Amino acid sequence: MELLSGAEMVVRALRDEGVKFIYGYPGGALLHIYDAIFTQDDVEHILVRHEQAATHMADAYARATGKAGVALVTSGPGATNAVTGIATAYMDSIPMVVLTGQVMSHLIGEDAFQETDMIGVSRPIVKHSFSVQRPEDIPEIIKKAFHIAESGRPGPVVVDIPKDMTTPTERYEYEYPKSVKMRSYNPISKGHSGQIKKAVDMLLAAKRPVIYAGGGVIMGDASQELIALAKELGCPVTNTLMGLGGFPGTDPQFIGMLGMHGSYEANMAMHHSDMILAVGARFDDRVTNGTDKFCPTAKIVHIDIDPASISKTIKADVPIVGPAQAVLKEMLEQLQAAKSTPSAESLKTWWEQIEEWRGRHGGRYNTNDSELMKPQQVIEMLSKVTNGDAYVCSDVGQHQMFAAQYYKFNKPNRWINSGGLGTMGFGLPAAMGVKLNFPDEEVVCVTGEGSIQMNIQELSTISQYGIPVKVICLNNQSLGMVRQWQDMNYESRHSQSYMKSLPDFVKLVESYGHVGIKVERYEDLEGAMREAFAMKDRMVFMDIAVDPFEHVYPMQVPRGSMRDMWLSKTERT
């Protein structure tokens, strides 16, 4: 058997796990590992400019592929800089392995230079963590880290590696385990057939059914199964913010996103439904609105791989614990084998009602109340120019909601955004992580002038590695989402939501060697956008001036039911 140092084992284990890229930043505690990286070329290291970006790149790779991304950060400040990225992945159940350097074992607890208790700091935001105690354990720990991160309900795993575990002169037999078994961790592989039968009976009897599908369909690779089931049933489908793309955005059965900024028809359909089939969705407070008023006439079937997601905020009538893919497949089989079909008559009535809602308020915005372009127009143009096929990586704010509402996602894993934590600064590194791994695909970062400045330093990483992402900056010269809340709840007292002294983004990106395009009139938009996308091997930043006064609608009225919404600055349901 081959003898390797701890440092070499770390790198070799990543190779044997099939990892192509790792994203990181060096420091004292990692020097042995960086030396081991230098002497091989199986695993390519991408040097970011801030550790937060490394975690978002790893995270976005995972969102696009379902496989865990890997970040490597040094002890102390390197590790703490990674915390936001770990929390972002945790909230959205994204598989990720974060390797953190640590001071020498004998110094732990002595407030040594760059010592942070990373196991302690990260405890509430990881699925699990390991602290390496013996170098010879490294291969097994790394195997377990990937296994835990990717299976069951996915999540980030931290592996803390004291420097003396990687000493180059101390060598050990290396073998990468093919699989690992843990008596305390056995993710479930299929749903309970009896429960599925109950759900099928309910689906057959339902008069006003809705499928409410979330991020679990994306991460659980169950989009095909979801589409097949929805087609069989002929019922409406709504997606959460995290579930977009799980069902094709242009399909007539798709009624849009639901929740706080969900479509009028999706929120109305949920409220009036008599049966909700929830798949891989966690009844988040941005979806349910007031839980006491949630969908009063609906019976709820809830499919989730994590039993703790079921009946956490809304009680399920039929809980089904299992992977969405396997459960939906069995559900479809049972449905096709059933003697009866859902009543065509009631389904027809239900669709008439939904179409009436859709016709009344669906997808409208006013283009006449401002000289400036509307952000929605920009997203609709983006959707058109990229045929709804681009990887769209978003930052957080109004622009994120407009992207969610107006980009027609036709494929899963292509809408990449921070939903649970809502991390401004996510978009650009996320786009970089995706583009590196999918060089032939169109990868866009939709952002605002606020969010982009939270990880703007990565323009430098983009130059170093030549990562030609396209940035669509909806520049409203304000922290728009904050400003909207101030307009609606604080009589327009815009406390600290106005961004003074914005940089000239065009000059800024040019200084990094990229292309900047400023667009101020709608007439110029399509041409400029096509020009940007034609530059296949250049990073292009489109600084697009949009109406600063625009609000995101619909917006649910706080603590109301799902159907209580503001539809514009003046209309309420």
Partner 1 sequence: MRHIISVLMENEPGALSRVVGLFSQRNFNIESLTVAPTEDETLSRLTVTTIGDDRVVEQITKQLNKLIDIVKVVDLTEGDHLERELMMIKMKANNGTVRAEIKRTADIFRGTIIDVTPNTFTVQLVGASSKLDAFIEALGTANIMEVVRSGVSGIARGEKVLSV
Cβ-proximal residues to 270 (8 Å cutoff; 6+ apart), any chain: 210, 212, 238, 258, 276, 295, 298, 562
Question: Which of the choices partner 1, Mg ion, ligand TPP, none does residue 191 contact, using the CB cut-off of 5 to 8 A by kind?
Answer: none
Running DSSP on this structure, what letter comes out for residue 315? -
Q: Is 399 in the site for ligand TPP (CB under 6 A)?
A: yes
- Residue sitting closest to ligand FAD (CB): 215
- The listed partner (ligand TPP, Mg ion, partner 1, none) that binds 123, CB under 5 to 8 Å by sort, is partner 1
C-beta of 48: minimal distance to ligand TPP in Å? Answer: 17
Q: What distance in Å separates the CA atoms of residue 443 and residue 441, rounded to the nearest whole number? A: 6
H or E element at residue 375: helix 375-385
For ligand FAD, what does the binding mask look like between residues 215 and 234, x meaning CB under 6 A? xx--xx--------------
- State the minimum distance, in angstroms, from the CB of residue 92 to ligand FAD: 5
Q: Decide which of partner 1, Mg ion, ligand FAD, none touches 480; Cβ closer than 5 to 8 Å per partner kind.
A: Mg ion
Q: What does the alpha-carbon distance between residue 443 and residue 447 come to, in Å, rounded to a whole number?
A: 13
Torsion angle of the four alpha carbons 23, 27, 32, 34, in this order, in degrees rounded to the nearest 10: 30
- Pick what 423 binds: Mg ion, ligand FAD, ligand TPP, none; C-beta below 5 to 8 Å, kind-dependent: ligand TPP
Binding of partner 1 at residue 148 (CB under 8 A)? yes
312 binds, among partner 1, ligand FAD, Mg ion, none (CB under 5 to 8 A by kind): partner 1
Pick the catalytic residue: 127, 143, 144, 163? 163
Annotation says 247 is catalytic:
no
Pick the closest to residue 449 from 476, 469, 431 (CA basis).
Answer: 476
Contact between 479 and ligand TPP (CB under 6 A)? yes
CB 563 within 8 A of CB 271: yes
List 25's β-bridge partners, or say none: 73
Minimum distance from residue 100 beta carbon to partner 1 (Å): 14
Binding to ligand TPP by residue 423, rule CB under 6 A?
yes
306/309 Cα distance (integer angstroms): 6
Query: Quick count: other Cβ atoms within 10 Å of Cβ 494?
Result: 13
Q: Which positions ≥6 away from 226 have C-beta within 8 Å?
A: 211, 213, 217, 237, 246, 247, 279, 324, 328
Closer of 92 and 449 to ligand TPP (Cβ): 449
Size of the residue set binding ligand TPP (CB under 6 A):
20
Tokens 């037999």: give the residue: 173
Which residues are 445's β-sheet partners? 393, 471
Residue 566 within binding range of partner 1, rule CB under 8 A: no
From candidates 311, 353, 410, 568, binder to partner 1 by CB under 8 A: 311
Specify whether the CB–CB gap between 63 and 394 falls below 8 A: no
Q: Which amino acid is at 301?
A: V
Q: Is 488 a catalytic residue?
A: no
Q: Which of 202, 242, 481, 542 is catalytic?
A: 481
29 three-class SS: helix
As a whole number of angstroms, the distance between CA 101 and CA 33 comes to 9
Residue 349 or 367 with smaller CB distance to ligand TPP: 367
**β 443-448/391-394 pair status:** parallel
Least gap, CB of 76 to partner 1 (angstroms):
19
- Active site includes 449? no
481 lies in the site for ligand TPP, by CB under 6 A:
yes
- Integer Cα distance of 450 and 467 in angstroms: 22
Stated as kind and residue range, the H or E segment containing 138 is helix 138-150
What is the per-residue binding string for ligand FAD in 154-183, x denoting contact by CB under 6 A? Answer: ------------------------------
Examine the residue annotation and report whether 510 is marked as an active-site residue of this protein. Answer: no
> Active site includes 496?
no
CA distance 114 to 79: 10
Interface contacts to Mg ion, rule CB under 5 A: 448-450, 476, 480
Q: Residue 243 interacts with ligand FAD (CB under 6 A)?
A: yes
Task: Name which of 189 and 367 has its Cβ closer to ligand FAD.
Answer: 189
Residue 120 within binding range of partner 1, rule CB under 8 A: yes
The residues with which 392 forms a beta bridge, in sequence order, are 415, 444
CA dihedral for 288, 291, 296, 301, sign (positive or negative): positive
Residues at the contact surface with ligand TPP, assessed by CB under 6 A: 395-399, 422-425, 448-451, 474, 476, 478-482
Catalytic residue list: 51, 113-114, 163, 481
Q: Which residues bind ligand FAD (CB under 6 A)?
A: 92-93, 153, 214-216, 219-220, 240-243, 257-262, 280-282, 284, 286-287, 303-306, 309, 323-324, 396, 400-401, 419-420, 422, 481
